[in-house]
Structure 1
Amino acid sequence: MAAKGEIVSIETIKPSTPTHDHLRDLKLSLLDQLLPNQIYIPLLLCYSHHDINNAFGGTSDHFSTISQKLKTSLSQALTLYYPYCGKPVKDNLSIECNDTGVVFIESKVNAKLSDILNNPLLELMVKDFLPFDPYNFDAPEANLAVQLNQFSCGGIAIGVSFNHKLGDAITLGCFLRAWSLLARGQGSLMVAPQMETSNLYFPPKNIEKINFRDVICKEEIVTKRFMFSGTNLSRLRDKLSSSIQNLSRVETVTALIWKSALEAAAKTSSKEQIFHASKVCHVVNIRGRVVPPLPEVTRGNLFVQSLSPKLELKGEVGLHDFAEMARKAVRSVDKDYVSKIIGDGILEVIEEMIANKEEGVPVYTFSSVIGMDCYENDFGWGKPTWVGTVGGRPMKNAVILFPTRDGKGTEAWITLSKVDMVEFERNPELIHYTSVNC
């Protein structure tokens, strides 16, 4: 089903109060500098027409009111989040905070929002409702762009493209929370962002830019979305609880996806269908692991990648083995570990990780936005019906975990090689605990 939006307006939103001169140049942290250029965090927040009509007390068209409220509150938010409306990163050292503004696009879609959300090719359609394709080299340079999509039923979707150089998913989540509070007239509940704090722990260095093209997978890859309901997660956790206590949701899901993906790879790469050794890599937020802990509103890319030891698949290897290794990877990033990587120490960790990844052993990388509270973004017409991202990520063996709206389940956006995905979807154990939606 083709349901591309028709752009009806494009304007620039600037901060309601000009940025002070002493804030015009924001230095990147070393962790920011290490991110490749031309990577954007894509997010789509969908709101049903039922919730919108209830909020406005009627069934008439409220799009113009919604649009104006979003633009006004965005302008107010940019006063505090001033780097997001400046020029993109210059020389991989700093951001020019010159109030250039944020592009705000309005689009009309000749389809119902429910038709889009129920479409089996959802992950391919999401990018049509974003300001631009986050993995397109020809995308315009920007720190932040927003697209407001109006569907024929009266539902809306807010597409956001956020420059990863400025921060991680937690950074984007804090901005969206502040924006939604301002839209609801509850700006007094906002917590002011800390823009410079990460630089104190990871001072910038003169290092070369990392080219996005260098990290793109050359194989044909595909992304699909798999759903773990709260009930199925409980069943899976119960299965593992006899050998491992208090597994987190992320650790539980990681174990099954990792095992199923490796089984698929074994079938596609070996006539004997022998399991190979592999590793798991988790992206871990370190704000709470710094001493003293950093508040969530600290801007920047405050995460590290934790790589597990090699899991040799010899003899009988069960799901609990994968769960145990996943736990070690996640929990190895503790306060002692973080204290060792402050400053230049992170460079040694990265060099070691690159060497370990180049051993020829497949690495499955997991990142989670479950703690991002993305379903709490109520701009005045209720919480989102669905929040998602875009498929077609440029790296294979990558998994991103989202919460479900009820807070009990998990959506897993999984990118594998095309041939591996065919076998992955057939895995009986995976089928037992999930449903595929893409």
Structure 2
Amino acid sequence: MACRLDIEIQSRKLLKPSASTPDNLRRLKLSLFDQLALRTYIPVLFNYLPSSSSTSYDDELEKSLAETLTKFYPFAGRFAKDIDPFSIDCNDEGVEYVQTKVNADDLAQFLRGQAHNDSESSLIDLLPIKDVEPSSPSSPLFGVQVNVFNNGGVTIGIQISHIVADAFTMATFVNEWAHTCLTGRTVSNNPGFGQLSLLFPAKVLQFPSPSPDLNTNTTTTGPNYKIVTRRFVFDALAIENLRKTIKDNDMMMKQPSRVVVIMSLMWKVLTHISSAKNNGNSRDSSLGFPINMRGKLSCTAPSLEHALGNYGMMGIADRKARRKDDELNDFVKLVGNTIWNTCEAIGKAESVDDISSLAFNNHIKGVEKLLQEDKMDVYGTTSWCKLPWYEADFGWGKPFWVSPVGLNLIEGAILMDTKDGNGVQLTICLKEKNMTEFEKHLHIFSSTPILG
């Protein structure tokens, strides 16, 4: 049994923006992409080593957060379902802001002393929002928990409703907050809220019935459905060695990226596990992943490279059942070509209506596959790579480790850059029995587990 972190809450409040949101910005319409996002919180931890300046962080962090919220004003609002189900009431009600004292020397030492199976529950305790309905009109859209360890190390736990932000938006916010805290000045440019909803407004949509419950983190109880999380790191050398095993073929993306290689490897291992469970008989399999659309559109006049909110389209790679396991090369081809084909379709779209239809149709395709989980395997993953997670310096240096936490997803994974920018951290959530088998295959790809 794991020993939980001994956390003492010093303060908890609803922190409001330092200036009121203007009346003309009080209602933020949601976009189609916001509408299709999961009704859940995106959780991430920023972990900092102790420094002389981290002992006097309280006032600066809180003040700079309030100032940053004046620009990211929807985060301090609430869902306005009683008025308009497709909008945010930017009423400055506030974000959840918690300050704690952690009675442990430091995070890394604590986790090294924990049983590998139990460390995730300790990390979840470092997050601010618990036991609330993510899409309730009364629930906060954003939360911050500042955890200070005995040695002065700091872990900032952040959660944001996926309906108002994707990973790009969260990374943008955290870096603007850090910049304001470090320099005392806000970033001059204004964030692009509202751009996407003007072009791609939310609308009444018809989904397949019965629709799977895509918007909660609940799972069936019982030993076969316990969800566990592991993290594995692939350094630059491990990724290069994997690339060397990929043969030349007719893949449209000739040089597979780090993300394509690791996503493909994960999919290969999971299909092998599925085949072994079915006496060597493989099943049809799909891997779904969002593709960031910023900078990919040619049919719209305004630049959307910095648009905030959700702006990703689902890509789905399909693999038919085989008599034998495919090579990594085959999975790389499936994933790479899916990305290439989806981006080509986005670039060739002649109107925003074409983009909306493509996004919705791809989403429905994913839903329909989930409805067939008794007949096929469906996996989901997403990449947070190439985002400036490790640039967030609040005044006591850049983080030594950034990671998602507490995802509770079935057969899902998130990829992030390692601190040096050359490797990939794979955070994967699987049913417990599947995870046991997944770890047995570590020798295939020479990765190492880290911090939980």
The TM-score, its normalising length taken from structure 1, stands at: 0.89
| Correspondence 1:353-392 to 2 at 5 A | 353-359=366-372, 360-392=375-407
Of 83, 93, 109 in structure 2, the residue corresponding to residue 115 of structure 1 is 109
Q: Which moved more, 1:396-405 or 1:312-321?
A: 312-321
CA distance in 1, matches of 2:412, 2:442: 21
State the SS of the aligned residue for 1:313: coil
State the SS of the aligned residue for 2:37: coil
Retained in 2: the 8 A contact 1:178–1:190?
no
2:334 is the alignment partner of 1:325: yes
Looking at secondary structure, tell me which structure has more helix per residue: 1
Letter in 1 for 2:129: F
Structure 2: state its 5+ residue gaps.
none
1:250-282 alpha-carbon deviations (Å, 9 max, x no partner): 111012111111111222x22x33333312112
2:365 is the alignment partner of 1:352: yes
State the SS of the aligned residue for 1:153: coil
Retained in 1: the 8 A contact 2:100–2:145?
yes
Give the superposition deviation at 1:25: 0.7
Give the superposition deviation at 1:312: 3.1
Partner of 1:27: 29
Partner of 2:49: 48
Partner of 1:75: 66
CA distance in 2, matches of 1:216, 1:26: 29
Of 176, 179, 191 in structure 1, the residue corresponding to residue 177 of structure 2 is 179
| Correspondence 1:54-133 to 2 at 5 A | 56=53, 62-63=54-55, 65-90=56-81, 91-113=84-106, 114-118=108-112, 119=114, 120=116, 121-133=118-130
Partner of 2:436: 422
Give the superposition deviation at 1:345: 4.5
Identity %: 29
Give the superposition deviation at 1:423: 1.2
CA distance in 2, matches of 1:213, 1:204: 17
CA distance in 2, matches of 1:234, 1:134: 43
Partner of 1:434: 447
Describe the shift of the 1:146–1:214 C-alpha distance in structure 2 as closer, same or farther (beyond 3 A): closer
Retained in 2: the 8 A contact 1:130–1:159?
yes
Describe the shift of the 1:176–1:295 C-alpha distance in structure 2 as closer, same or farther (beyond 3 A): farther
State the SS of the aligned residue for 2:168: helix
The TM-score, its normalising length taken from structure 2, stands at: 0.86
Partner of 1:59: none
CA distance in 2, matches of 1:214, 1:162: 15
Partner of 2:149: 151
State the SS of the aligned residue for 1:343: helix
Letter in 1 for 2:434: D
CA distance in 1, matches of 2:429, 2:392: 27
Letter in 1 for 2:125: D
Retained in 1: the 8 A contact 2:268–2:326?
no
Size of the aligned set, in residue pairs, is 423
CA distance in 2, matches of 1:330, 1:346: 14
Give the superposition deviation at 1:352: 3.1
CA distance in 1, matches of 2:129, 2:6: 13
Retained in 1: the 8 A contact 2:315–2:362?
no
CA distance in 1, matches of 2:395, 2:313: 35
Give the superposition deviation at 1:380: 1.3
| Correspondence 1:111-260 to 2 at 5 A | 111-113=104-106, 114-118=108-112, 119=114, 120=116, 121-133=118-130, 141-185=139-183, 187=185, 189-206=187-204, 216-218=218-220, 219-240=225-246, 242-243=248-249, 245-260=254-269
Letter in 1 for 2:16: K
Q: Which moved more, 1:131-140 or 1:236-245?
A: 131-140
CA distance in 2, matches of 1:189, 1:214: 35
1:284-342 alpha-carbon deviations (Å, 9 max, x no partner): 11112122584443111111111113333234621100111111222222153363742
State the SS of the aligned residue for 1:148: strand
CA distance in 1, matches of 2:129, 2:8: 13
Describe the shift of the 1:197–1:321 C-alpha distance in structure 2 as closer, same or farther (beyond 3 A): same
State the SS of the aligned residue for 2:310: coil
1:407-435 alpha-carbon deviations (Å, 9 max, x no partner): 111111112222111111111543x4211
2:288 is the alignment partner of 1:281: yes
CA distance in 2, matches of 1:294, 1:374: 23
Give the superposition deviation at 1:95: 0.7
Give the superposition deviation at 1:346: 3.0
Describe the shift of the 1:156–1:253 C-alpha distance in structure 2 as closer, same or farther (beyond 3 A): same
Describe the shift of the 1:187–1:314 C-alpha distance in structure 2 as closer, same or farther (beyond 3 A): farther
Retained in 1: the 8 A contact 2:260–2:335?
yes
Q: Which moved more, 1:210-219 or 1:299-308?
A: 210-219
Describe the shift of the 1:262–1:200 C-alpha distance in structure 2 as closer, same or farther (beyond 3 A): same
Retained in 2: the 8 A contact 1:134–1:161?
no
1:16-60 alpha-carbon deviations (Å, 9 max, x no partner): 2211111111111122122343x10101101001xx22xx3xxxx
Describe the shift of the 1:145–1:134 C-alpha distance in structure 2 as closer, same or farther (beyond 3 A): same
1:387-415 alpha-carbon deviations (Å, 9 max, x no partner): 1121352x311111111111111111112
Structure 1: state its 5+ residue gaps.
57-61
Letter in 1 for 2:100: S
